[in-house]
Amino acid sequence: MMTLLLATAMVSVAVTFKETAPAKASTVAVTFRQTAPAKASTAPPDPLYATAAPAGLAAGNEATSQAAVNKKGAVTWALKNVHGGYNNFGDDCTDFVSRALAIGGGDPFTYPRGINESTGNDHYWYFFTVRYGRWWSHSWSVAKDLAIHLNLRKSHWLKYWNDAQPGDVIFANWSNGKFSGISHVGIITKMSHGVPMITQHSPSQKNVSLNYWLKHGGRDVHVWIASPAAG
């Protein structure tokens, strides 16, 4: 099985893709409803195999998730808000994607009764303001946890990046191929000659090529792309 590898030369970059714990303040305008969480765990997916599908496997044949997120709406929201605020998060890559899915894509929150006791349970995904402040799940604000959450929701994971579509979610581990080491996420907002173009926060970038991630992200970049299933 092939995994996605970088060129051997190391390239330094002035941008930091580090995700840290957020400060708690302010609000986000989003409609939500309570839904049942996924009930079974799923094995983590492998990184993407190669740049393109091999002969006989045409690009553009992405499987459709069982319950669909409005990916066009998520893309529209991301492009409109890429240069907007960070929602009071110091590093906002995951919150930005979560907001795109929730506000633009209409993806409903999934949450239990005891919100303050479930922030680390990746079956759940939510962000809202209550009387005593803001509450959110790790899956809302931490890239690895969002990836686990989408996996638990039975989202479809692509094998080849040229099968991606606008509205798919792309994750990165900058140093190896371990799913557990994912530390960054963006949303694909365009495809250009079979290459995903990514819109993201931390740093704020609009339609940056996946090739930029692969060249400047780290010493051994691996990526995963999910077609998000609705909560």
CATH architecture designation of domain 71-227: Alpha-Beta Complex (3.90)
Per DSSP bridges, beta strands 205-209 and 156-157 are unpaired
| Alpha-carbon torsion, ordered 167, 182, 155, 48, to 10 deg | 80
Residue with tokens 């209550």: 130
User: Domain ranges in the chain?
Assistant: 71-227
H-assigned helices in the chain: 71-81, 93-99, 138-141, 143-152, 210-216
pLDDT score recorded for residue 130: 77
pLDDT score recorded for residue 42: 52
pLDDT score recorded for residue 13: 32
Instruction: Give the separation between CA 101 and CA 226, rounded to whole angstroms.
Output: 12
In 3-state terms, what secondary structure has residue 91?
coil
Local confidence pLDDT in tens for the 231 residues of the chain? 333 433 333 333 333 334 444 444 444 444 334 333 333 335 667 766 433 333 322 333 333 334 579 999 999 999 999 999 999 999 999 999 999 999 999 999 887 766 566 788 899 999 988 777 888 999 999 999 999 999 999 999 999 999 999 999 999 999 999 999 999 999 999 999 999 999 999 999 999 999 999 999 888 999 999 999 887
Neighbours of 117 (CB within 10 A): 9
pLDDT score recorded for residue 188: 98
State phi, psi for 70 to the nearest 5 degrees.
-75, 90
Please name every residue paired with 226 in a beta bridge, in sequence order, or none if there are none. 157, 169
Instruction: Give the separation between CA 99 and CA 95, rounded to whole angstroms.
Output: 6
pLDDT score recorded for residue 67: 57
Instruction: Give the separation between CA 179 and CA 5, rounded to whole angstroms.
Output: 15
Which pTM value belongs to this model?
0.74
Q: Which of 194, 199, 188 is nearest to 163 (CA)?
A: 194
